[in-house]
Amino acid sequence: MPELPEVETVRKGIKQLVQGKTIISVDVLWDRIIEYPDVCDFTQELIGQTILDVDRRGKYLIFKLSDADLISHLRMEGKYDFQEKSLVENPKHTHVIFHFTDGSQLSYHDVRKFGRMALVPKDTALSYKSLALLGPEPTEETFELSAFQEKLHYSSRAIKTQLLDQTTVAGLGNIYADEVLWEAKIHPERPANSLTKKEVIALHDMIIIVLDRAVKAGGTTIRSYTNALGEAGHFQVALNAYGKTGQPCPRCQTPIVKIKVGQRGTHFCPHCQQLKRRNAK
DNA sequence: ATTAATCCCTGGAGGC
DNA sequence: TGCCTCCAGGGATTAA
């Protein structure tokens, strides 16, 4: 599932392949992928537009076009593929194809059809729906400790749930939420407002560190991008908790446990990440 | 206003 | 082998 680091890797890959290309036609094979406007207008308005740049905000890709912004969210399994020449037959699960004037094409694939695209007026992507509500990017420069601390202070939800809420900080998904909580040694079910100042600082710092590390790892394979733009960059970073049910915690060897938090599968170390503080000795 | 539950989708895994 | 059920999950929507 693409989270911020994966989307960033996809962004770089797509950018170097399609920047400067002009759309000549668009095929939409599954209408519900297009959230706005209706498929007919979406297709028509894209014709003749040139891709000036490819940006990202949180987990959203933003294609900067000559006269519009195209927003694309990959959700669970969305992937982009690039072909130098149009394919006679498109693979299964191909839902949207952008044809360019030079004969090449960018196609969108999505087995579960959860991904969404929206075409909005030029330079308005960041104020479209939930993009306008996104929290800060998880970088040193933008992710302020004080705002994060305040957000947690007023929330009684489980910290894991709070981290998945994109208005807290943008870009964390189920994998990295588990990873940063493991790194910060915080139990995923701790109420957000029960974290000590020390824990909030540790969590804040780990969010920046873990995502930066993942972005850098994903970025190392960019040059090999010709196909499957959503695949590379996945699991380039070793995971410590997510998907490690029953395996020893890399810190203390206690088996990793899996529970449900807010309907989401959640992995943690019951020794390093305790719900109640042990009596200090 | 805040938060929790439901829904969208399909393929893969496990049971029998 | 094949049929059935269950599970995975980001974010929009609906409900409480």
Q: Which bases on strand B have an atom closer than 7 Å to a protein beta carbon?
A: 2-11
Q: Which bases on strand C have an atom closer than 7 Å to a protein beta carbon?
A: 7-12
- In angstroms, how far is B8 C1' from A74 CA? 14
Cβ atoms < 10 Å from Cβ of A270: 15
CA A159, CA A151: separation in Å to the nearest integer? Answer: 11
Angle at A143 between CA A219 and CA A271, to 5 degrees: 80
Selected catalytic residue, list A11, A12, A21, A59: A59
- At A140 the pLDDT is 96
pLDDT along chain A (281 residues), means of 10: 87 93 97 95 97 96 97 92 89 94 96 94 95 95 96 94 95 93 96 96 96 77 44 62 91 93 92 76 35
| Amino acid symbol at A139 | T
CA A53, CA A268: separation in Å to the nearest integer? Answer: 39
> Which value, to the nearest 10 degrees, does the dihedral of the CA atoms of residues A211, A217, A218, A223 take?
150
Contact A110, A77 (CB under 8 A): yes
pLDDT, tens digit, 9 for 90 and up, residues A47-88 = 999 999 999 999 999 999 999 999 999 998 899 999 999 888
Residues with Cβ within 8 Å of residue A74, at least 6 apart in sequence: A2, A7, A10, A59, A61, A110, A115, A230
The residue that minimises its CA distance to C1' of C8 is A265
Chain-centre distance of CA A142, in angstroms?
Answer: 17
Is there contact between A114 and strand B, defined as CB under 7 Å from any strand atom? Answer: yes
CB distance under 7 Å to strand C: residues: A 1, 3, 58-60, 73, 75-76, 112, 114, 116, 129-130, 164, 166, 173-175, 264-265
C-alpha dihedral sign at A267, A110, A207, A163: negative
| Six token digits for residue A99 | 């044809």
Q: How many helices (H) and strands (E) does chain A have?
A: 6, 11
> Which value, to the nearest 10 degrees, does the dihedral of the CA atoms of residues A57, A175, A232, A92 take?
-90
The answer for A102, left when phi > 0, alpha when psi is -120 to 50, beta otherwise, is alpha
- In angstroms, how far is B5 C1' from A271 CA? 31
Is there contact between A156 and strand B, defined as CB under 7 Å from any strand atom? Answer: yes
Is there contact between A36 and strand B, defined as CB under 7 Å from any strand atom? Answer: no
C-alpha closest to that of A234 among A91, A79, A42, A81: A79
Question: Which residue, chain included where needed, has tokens 């790194």?
Answer: A183
DSSP 3-state of A24: strand
- In angstroms, how far is C14 C1' from A86 CA? 42
Identify whether A264 is a catalytic site residue.
yes
Residues 190-249 of A with CB under 7 A from strand B: none
- At A233 the pLDDT is 45
Is there contact between A91 and strand B, defined as CB under 7 Å from any strand atom? Answer: no
- At A279 the pLDDT is 54
CA A185, CA A179: separation in Å to the nearest integer? Answer: 10
| Six token digits for residue A21 | 């290309």
First to last CA, chain A: 42
Identify whether A3 is a catalytic site residue.
yes
- At A27 the pLDDT is 97
